[in-house]
Homo-oligomer: A and B are copies of this chain.
Amino acid sequence: MKPGPRRSISQTDIVETAFEILEQKGFAAVSIRGVAAALGLTPTAMYTYFPSKNALLRAMVEQVLAGLDLEGAADADVDWRDRVLALAVDLRSRLAAHAGAMLLVTSGPLDGPHARRLTETLIAGFTSERMPLADAARAADAVRAYVLGAAALDAAVRAAEASEGPATAGPALWTEATAHPLTDAAAELDGDADGGFAWGLDRLLDGLLAGVGASAT
């Protein structure tokens, strides 16, 4: 095919195609060349839209965050505690929806516009509980860290299950099989990872909101 302007493909089209590849073939398959091929372009044409692969990955992170209901989280009619819980659960499910989304988040800084809006919303919520600004900022950081870390641990476990089957341990790299009685016992009586996430977040909010506002139980 000859060079020259074609029917314009948007950055959004590229990001969407990248997400399709991410879901179908995993994080490793998200490549400039692969996305270009799926769009019927040569790899070099991609550099018209994004200056680097990293820029593409950042745009993907932004799209994941774009769907967050920050307006709902700013609704002062609802308790802040309930709002931040809903927001965190939503964010976590969005990160869980795409198999490799967590690697995206870790692969670059969370400094896009939607990421900043999320941080701003969190800080605003905590200050609305009469928390000093410095503490509110740290509280926002703590919530971000908890949600991201939980999503990362989830993603790592699921990636391992997908790549090598559920019941495969390392080939005798370590011999002591049952040296972790508590971990094993806990694994038996639990299986509700989602419940664990909300429980831990609840405890974190207990600690963050203790003694700062009336609505903190």
A interface, CB within 8 angstroms of B: 54, 102-103, 105-113, 116-117, 119-120, 123-124, 127, 133-139, 141-142, 144-150, 152-153, 155-157, 159-160, 163, 170, 173-174, 176, 179-183, 185-187, 189-190, 196, 199-208, 210
Out of B108, B124, B146, B186, name the residue touching A146 (CB < 8 Å): B146
Contact between chains at B160 and A111 (CB < 8 Å) = yes
Contact between chains at A123 and B159 (CB < 8 Å) = no
Contact between chains at A180 and B116 (CB < 8 Å) = yes
Contact between chains at B182 and A123 (CB < 8 Å) = yes
A101 to chain B, nearest CB (A): 11
Copy number in the complex reads: 2
A207 to chain B, nearest CB (A): 3
Instruction: Give the interface SS of chain A, mostly helix, strand, loop or mixed.
Output: helix
Out of B103, B123, B149, B202, name the residue touching A186 (CB < 8 Å): B123
Query: A123-B183, A153-B145 given as contacts; is B106 within 8 A of A139 (CB)?
Result: no
Tell me which residues across on chain B come within 8 A of A139, comparing CB atoms: 200, 203
Task: Tell me the complex Cα distance, A153–B54, Å.
Answer: 17
A85 to chain B, nearest CB (A): 13
Contact between chains at A133 and B185 (CB < 8 Å) = yes
A176 to chain B, nearest CB (A): 8
